[in-house]
Amino acid sequence: MLGLAVSVAAIFSAPAAWAADFPDRTITLVVPFSAGGSTDLVARLVANKMSEKLGQQIVVENVGGAGGSIGASQVARAEPDGYTILMGTVATHALNPLILKTKPYDAEKDFAPISLLVLVPNVLVVNPQFPAKDVKELIEMLKKDPDKYAYASSGNGTPLHLSGELFKSMAGVSMQHIPYKGAGPALNDVIGNQVPIMFDNLPSSSGHIKSGTLRALGVTTKERVPSFPDVPAIAETIPGYETYSWNALFAPAGTPADVIAVLQKAAAESLKDPDVIARMGQFSASIVASSPEELASHVKAELAKWEPIVKASGVQLD
């Protein structure tokens, strides 16, 4: 009986003891979009600093496709041990659950929240050869030649796609939507002038805006952003227009609370690093570094916010 009691005690104490050794090997951070986009940039910046804090390498793995749902599904099915985590976004945890007819995962039940890292502005950009110099001129061009022009996004049902659909609706214009498997490939085609217009996350476009390979017509937040004070908010031309993106860390549901706590602490400490703060500031990403509980509440609120927008857009994907 004594031996049985000791065995039972060992079983119940094992997770805590195991978590005390976490991590003891490489962690994989799945980015559910292709390399080069905003989520990828934020992931690599945070992963580098978290690796230093944890004493183990965090390897970023890009698993693009289906608006982020393929990568998110991979993490949802992973072993809940903290060694496979997800850089989630508004697409993976608010839009996909509302847009996809077949639900590959439950945004709330299939994940353990770790931390809401940053809020990220979006931006409307065009190829420098495109005639429109501001949002007003773009609207005039689109009204003059309906459906002549196309805009790119990081994929069907992504926040960048819906940013474009909301723009079309509120401005009363038409544009063809060209979806890509991530922001990186879409940016390449806009820079190459295969597609003239794009809604993008500001972080992935910021370098191109500064170098002149893209022209920014407007940011999607209510007001102008500190890193590009000369770029108007779209809301200055279309009152009430607003969208933004966010990045957050998630683990598979069932990951031990002690492991979640270790990851959350490392993420929060990384976001206090002066180099990280400066880099985030360059593209006006607002640092949050939330608790797991706060991220859970955020996901619930985002689902409620986007539901009427998705319904109004009529977007439904298989």
Cβ proximity of 68 and 32 under 8 Å: yes
Count other C-beta atoms under 10 Å from residue 272's C-beta.
Answer: 11
Q: Quick: pLDDT tens for 169-227.
A: 899 999 999 998 888 899 999 999 999 999 998 988 999 999 999 999 999 998 999 89
Q: Quick: pLDDT tens for 13-63.
A: 444 444 579 999 999 999 998 888 778 989 999 999 999 999 999 999 999
**What letter represents residue 217's amino acid?**
L
Q: Where are the domains of the chain?
A: 26-120+245-313, 121-236
- The architecture that CATH gives domain 121-236 is 3-Layer(aba) Sandwich (3.40)
* Cβ neighbours for 276, distance < 8 A, ≥ 6 positions apart: 45, 46, 49, 270
- The answer to whether domain 26-120+245-313 and domain 121-236 are alike in fold is yes
**Confidence at 1, pLDDT banded by 50, 70, 90:** very low
Count other C-beta atoms under 10 Å from residue 237's C-beta.
Answer: 18
Q: Which pLDDT does position 19 carry in this prediction?
A: 59
Higher-confidence position of 262 and 281: 262
Alpha helices in the chain (DSSP H): 2-20, 38-54, 69-76, 90, 96-99, 135-144, 159-171, 183-191, 202-211, 257-270, 274-282, 292-313
pLDDT of 11 above 50:
no
* Cβ neighbours for 217, distance < 8 A, ≥ 6 positions apart: 124, 125, 126, 132, 133, 134, 135, 138, 231, 232, 234
Average pLDDT, the chain: 90
Q: Which pLDDT does position 272 carry in this prediction?
A: 97
What is the torsion angle, in degrees rounded to the nearest 10, for the CA atoms of residue 265, residue 182, residue 202 and residue 44?
30
Does CATH place domain 26-120+245-313 in 3.40.190.150? yes
Q: Which pLDDT does position 251 carry in this prediction?
A: 98
Q: Which pLDDT does position 36 carry in this prediction?
A: 81
**Residue 21 burial (C-beta neighbours within 10 Å; 0-12, 13-18, 19+):** exposed
**Cα 162 to Cα 103: distance, rounded to the nearest angstrom:** 19
Q: Which pLDDT does position 194 carry in this prediction?
A: 97
pLDDT of 110 above 60:
yes
- Average of pLDDT values for 98-109? 93
Q: What is the DSSP string of 56-112?
A: S-EEEEE---GGGHHHHHHHHTS-SSSSEEEEEEHIIIIIHHHHBSS-SS-TTTSEE
**Cα 280 to Cα 247: distance, rounded to the nearest angstrom:** 12
**Cα 70 to Cα 73: distance, rounded to the nearest angstrom:** 5
Cβ proximity of 136 and 237 under 8 Å: yes
Q: Percentage of the chain surpassing pLDDT 70?
A: 94
- 27-31 and 176-179 beta bridge pairing: unpaired
Residues β-bridged to residue 218 = 124
